Amino acid sequence: MIRESTTSAWPLSTRRRQRIFFATHLVCARPSRRRESSESRTRRTKREERIHGTLFRARHCSRGFLVCRARGSGGVSRPCFVLRAALGLMFFLTASAHWGKRRPDLIRMVPPAFPRPDLLVTLTGVLEILGAIGLFVPSTARLACICLALLLVALFPANIHAARQHLTIAGRGVPGLPVRSAMQLVFVATLIAAAWLR
């Protein structure tokens, strides 16, 4: 009888110990997990948005490149056409933000010295769309490159205002003035190169 009681009591105490161990482990681990998830959630979201935006633009540029290569038999696979097609897709993408969720952020980027910032955002979006269409037309591609380069120069004060005021676009901070200036120079130089390439 003593052996039966000890053998039956031992598994029972083991189960109780396991229950107590798991209960205390869950109680102690839940707050730390919640703190870790709440602190890292915003960082993970911002990192995923940046990666998604970069991949989205790269995907559109690669589509334009593949379309141009696929039409190479028609005689339009020249470097100038590939470059203009990639620029056209990029400007279509940026113009779509003028009427989407980012429109209020773009309106705030307009310096206070300019009247009717909402109208200016709409006008620049229309100009970007017209310029992107002109890039795909051989007879107007060179003129479209020059006009878009001038448009980027005209829009640069808005980028300066956004960088100085530390504004955000879609919840993400705008790049600093040195970074934005370098990006603007690259875009303008690419448009000029696309205008003179044959």
**For residues 76-95, average pLDDT:** 85
Separation between Cα atoms, residue 19 and residue 77, nearest integer Å: 70
Q: Is the pLDDT of residue 135 over 90?
A: yes
In a domain, 23, yes or no: yes
- 97 and 189 both lie in a single domain: yes
Residue-level pLDDT at 75 = 42
Of 90, 87, 115, 120, give the one whose Cα is nearest residue 103.
120
Which domain covers residue 184, as residue numbers? 78-196
Separation between Cα atoms, residue 59 and residue 157, nearest integer Å: 29
- 36 and 111 both lie in a single domain: no
Those residues whose C-beta lies under 8 Å from the C-beta of residue 151, and which sit 6 or more positions away, are 124, 127, 128, 131
The string of pLDDT tens digits covering residues 96-129 is 989 888 899 999 999 999 999 999 999 999 999 9
Structural domains of the chain, count: 2
- 95 and 176 both lie in a single domain: yes
- 40 and 131 both lie in a single domain: no
In a domain, 21, yes or no: yes
Is residue 147 within 8 Å of 182, Cβ to Cβ? no
Is residue 129 within 8 Å of 121, Cβ to Cβ? no
Paired residues of 169 in beta bridges? 172
- 103 and 155 both lie in a single domain: yes
Residue 78's region, left for phi above 0, alpha for psi from -120 to 50, else beta, is: beta
- 111 and 158 both lie in a single domain: yes
Residue-level pLDDT at 177 = 87
Residue-level pLDDT at 1 = 45
Task: Write down the pTM of the prediction.
Answer: 0.60
Residue-level pLDDT at 79 = 74
The string of pLDDT tens digits covering residues 67-82 is 544 454 444 457 778 8
- 29 and 82 both lie in a single domain: no
In a domain, 104, yes or no: yes
